[in-house]
Amino acid sequence: MRREEDLQTHGLKFIQDTDLFLFGTDAVELANFAAPQPKTNVCDLGAGTGIISVLLAGKYGCRVTAVEIQEKCCELIKLNAQINGLNITVAHMPMQEFTGRFDCVVCNPPYLKAGSGVPRGTLPEQIACFEEKVTFNEVAACAERLLSTGGKFCIVHHITRLAEVITTLKRHRLEPKKLQILRPAEGKPPHIFMCECMRDGREGIVVFPEKTVGGEYGRI
């Protein structure tokens, strides 16, 4: 069943489909964290139904290419781009096969490794939550391929995989430059983080104060 959400910013609306994976606060936080300059060429890897693409194009005036493997998700991205009058191109394919050149790449990848955690009920949930279709190493390899020197890569991921993610990023010439730790509520331990990397950047990272963000996170 489809329903319309008011994103409460820049007059943006967003159609969700309850048969697909519903976006969470993590996606919204990532879009705000990335905050690209207007007219920046941005690639949204594993775009899902397109919430990050819509926010980047609608709030920041970016030219966005959304890469997504699920056909029904691609249809919803196109619909959301149309109703908001946004410059979003949809590439229906595995990100491992996608090529191009971008100023910025963003990704809200599956948090859990294949075969781990509690199984989810639907195929879209499985694809969104588990590394069934793409591993984080493949995500990083794709970002490396799509960015020129100095290009920006922004991700959100689960805190338990922080060390692994940082190591993987550096192996793919994506140097971590900014780190933001998030917690769901005061007194609760951090459980997700966002990282901004620069392709072929120099070592040196800024760690922001921990931030409390209310609401549910879609992929936990």
Which of these, 158, 109, 155, lies nearest to 136 by C-alpha position?
109
**Number of neighbouring beta carbons within 10 Å of residue 107:** 24
Instruction: Compute the distance between CA of residue 138 and CA of residue 132 in angstroms, rounded to an integer.
Output: 12
**Is the pTM above the cut of 0.85?**
yes
Which of these, 143, 118, 144, 142, lies nearest to 130 by C-alpha position?
118
- The per-residue pLDDT for range 129-173, each reduced to its tens digit, is 999 999 999 999 999 999 999 999 999 999 999 999 999 999 999
Cα–Cα separations (whole angstroms), residue 209 to 63, 183, 206: 31, 11, 10
Query: Does an H or E element contain 151, and which?
Result: strand 147-158
Summarize the confidence of residues 5-12 as an average pLDDT: 96
In contact, 63 and 36? CB cutoff 8 Å: no
Percent of the chain with pLDDT over 90: 90
φ, ψ for residue 200 (rounded to 5)? Answer: 65, 25
Which of these, 183, 214, 112, 157, lies nearest to 197 by C-alpha position?
157
Q: Can you give the pLDDT at residue 215?
A: 53
Average pLDDT taken over every residue of the chain:
94
Query: Does an H or E element contain 89, and which?
Result: strand 88-92
Instruction: Compute the distance between CA of residue 198 and CA of residue 173 in angstroms, rounded to an integer.
Output: 8
Collapsing DSSP states into helix, strand and coil, what is residue 158?
strand
- Those residues with Cβ within 8 angstroms of residue 209's Cβ, 6 or more apart along the chain or in another chain: none
Q: Indicate the residue type of 209.
A: P
- The per-residue pLDDT for range 94-131, each reduced to its tens digit, is 999 999 999 999 999 999 999 887 776 789 999 999 99
Tokens (6 digits) for 120? 């989810």
Instruction: Compute the distance between CA of residue 42 and CA of residue 45 in angstroms, rounded to an integer.
Output: 10
